[in-house]
A and B are shown apart, each in its own frame.
Chain A
């Protein structure tokens, strides 16, 4: 590529992070650091029942025995857990009776992010749970959904209002012993979303959680639990942003999904945490455990993720296909630009008969970004007629970045068919030239080509968010191609 093109590519790839502002909202915080006392304080602040405190303490004690995983293809600086504030909540009246009582600054923050909390103003057909720092601040359309028997509320509310459901499902898919960050989350999680779709109900609107980190020096540890009872359907979306800060912030979340017989869950993520600046300063450490269990026959869980943010991403949204004829899907686009690192992928565990899984992963590396796909497809002995197809492609924009593929295929059944394909290539100069020849600028050509490359995944998103994801993809790659 010639100099001019380099320059254009450079311009295209130095887009600014547009959610980097921070809001002056008074927040209530606890002391820095982590101890059994801190766990007790968090639980007390949330006025939790004893069983939940017990769960937290067991998790905390287990966490103390664990080490940070060393296997990801990531360079993670040492994290000082005594330097993190584990609980921060926007100060507000203890009980919110109407929207007017929300701190206006907080409302402005979500307006700025394009997430209006007033229901009438909101995108038609999307219910939102807004989570600021560690606490759910407002859930829209809660009443309307309740009429259909759908429960959509903050995790804390669920603990008080639906303790039996929470007790029955929490930790069944991601046990508190699961991994280092899952144990940490289980000990200190502050809030998150809870969703239950009753038998036979198709949720009529998209449910979404919007996560925002605002306060400095805090970690965010939310927990989402989503239960789709028999014959139900729900499409769920989460988005996330954070202010630009020089220091790294830790985000360690858990998402658990349970899909009962004949139910279907679509879970989409547009992850746009602050990625750090051009030189790799600051940014969120996004260490997330997401897992779904297809418990019943014919159930289906589909993960779609657009990962453009975070300094470091470590997440593997997975499916345990326990029910016969159940289906798991994973569609992912992960972008790493500048100094971003991502080690992401999925696990498909085939236990039931005739289970199917599909994996489509599109990695895009630019700048000095390092992008790894890591995936496990495991066919257990009794999972007869299991099928898996995986396609993991990497696109490289620039000669300082890296793209890596680490699939694990473990097959213990003769009737299984497991196929994995992967390719790695650079953006085609002939493609760019072809666009140029038709009068399209290099900048637009790259956007087009990258979006075309990611289309298969973006198409899986709900319509409103597909457009947003496309723009996001273009912005996050600005300044990356060389």
Chain B
């Protein structure tokens, strides 16, 4: 079984039973985040690296206290980095934090190198530069990138453990804006390597966006705002779990071709006619 037919997802050193990776940001409370993680069925959550507060430290509450190390693998990200140097620095800090911490996830990273604060779109040159350094440094790198097939090929060649094209800008909820670009990326990256993981990261707004993305043949979905920002985040986490599974199953099952005209489901023969 490879990623094409298996219901679980193999990326770098890890095998994920759920193809949904969820974020930990923007929740009204850490308790709500925990409930949403539970409802999502995910085994993998992303976290960001930031300066520790020296005073007024949330009365000692750390986000890790709300993430069960037996249940979840942590995927540290380099969110908020705008250069290759910043990405490498933050990735190493994330690894150091997880080393010997009792949590899994020290050996991989979600590389995010952004171009500007308005679009939060990935900056391709810095992304590739940072990837090369991190690969040399022994990281398994999941690369957040734009849906440009040539860039995705270069990133794979440079040793990315997974390619994660944006469906649309981070937090925009616009879904997968260019499904054909994703199709071409899948074809190019998987033609001689069917198990190579391609994940849609960013832009998912609601369950149908996740299902549609999975139906295209991608290996997983990474999302945060769609759940954390929903009116009922726990219900949306349930919805995303089912949408990801439904989309995956539909992809494996193989949809019928689209046709312009009708095809009857009931037999013509034996109709009661005059």
A, B: real partners: no
Binding site for B on A (CB under 8 A): none
Binding site for A on B (CB under 8 A): none
